[in-house]
Amino acid sequence: MIGLVVETEIGESMRFELESGKTKCIAEDIKANAMTVGKYSIVNPSEGQPFPDSHKLVVRVSSSKGNNYHLGDQVDSGTFGFLATESGDYTTCFWANKHKPPIKMTIDFDWKSGVAAKDWSKIAKKGQVETMEIELKKLYDAVAAIHEEMFYLREREEEMQELNKETNSKMATFSFFSLLLCLSVAGLQIWHLKSFFERKKLL
């Protein structure tokens, strides 16, 4: 059984439960050349004790075109980060091993993209800049991200308009040939009936 959640924010932290033998997928729409980072971990059911053998995951991050960007095999935690090479939905799927009796695992997942993916605390520490400068950099990047998002949405709109035009053109052609076929069939039926009545000397 597969569960799917679509993220609408550029950065979101969540906690969810996953039953053994099942899968949960989380998708996020990411633009090309945008940075994205993620961190996941199973919550230890017995704090301070080693993880049970049953608490293991297979985690995979892939694009809508099937390209894989991260694979964690039999892990209880992990991180990933990459620069998106294509626009579209990127999906993170969590597979829980089968276990009898079934168990439930609690998973913390943090996924950020774009401006939210930048670690501003490291930038501030490295550059030793003032708080106001950091805030200005954040605002600048936020405005740049909104600007890029507007162009991205405009491109998507143009693609949809072009698709609508092509669809309308194909429908018009199909309607014309359908009408032509109907008229041809009607003419053929009239000719057939006329020939039939002439043979029967009814006309």
3-state SS, residue 10 = coil
Q: Work out the burial of residue 135: count CB atoms within 10 Å of its CB; fewer than 13 is exposed, 13-18 middle, 19 or more buried.
A: exposed
C-alpha R_g of the chain = 29
Find the distance separating the first CA and the last CA of the chain, reported in whole Å.
71
Phi, psi of 183 (to 5 degrees): -65, -40
CATH number belonging to the domain at 13-127, selected among 3.40.50.300, 3.30.1490.20, 3.40.640.10, 2.60.120.380: 2.60.120.380
* Identity at 192, one-letter amino acid code: H
3-state SS, residue 22 = coil
Which pLDDT value is given to residue 93?
A: 94
Which pLDDT value is given to residue 9?
A: 39
Which pLDDT value is given to residue 123?
A: 44
Contact 118, 34 (CB under 8 A): no
Q: What is the pTM of this model?
A: 0.55
Helix extents (H) in the chain: 120-127, 131-199
Q: How far, in Å, CA of 203 to CA of 199, rounded?
A: 9
Which pLDDT value is given to residue 12?
A: 63
Which pLDDT value is given to residue 195?
A: 79
Q: How far, in Å, CA of 44 to CA of 59, rounded?
A: 17
pLDDT means over runs of 10, the chain (203 residues): 43 82 90 85 82 85 90 90 87 89 89 70 47 65 79 86 87 87 87 76 60
Burial 69-88 (b: 16+ CB within 10 A, else e): beebeeebeeebeeebeebe
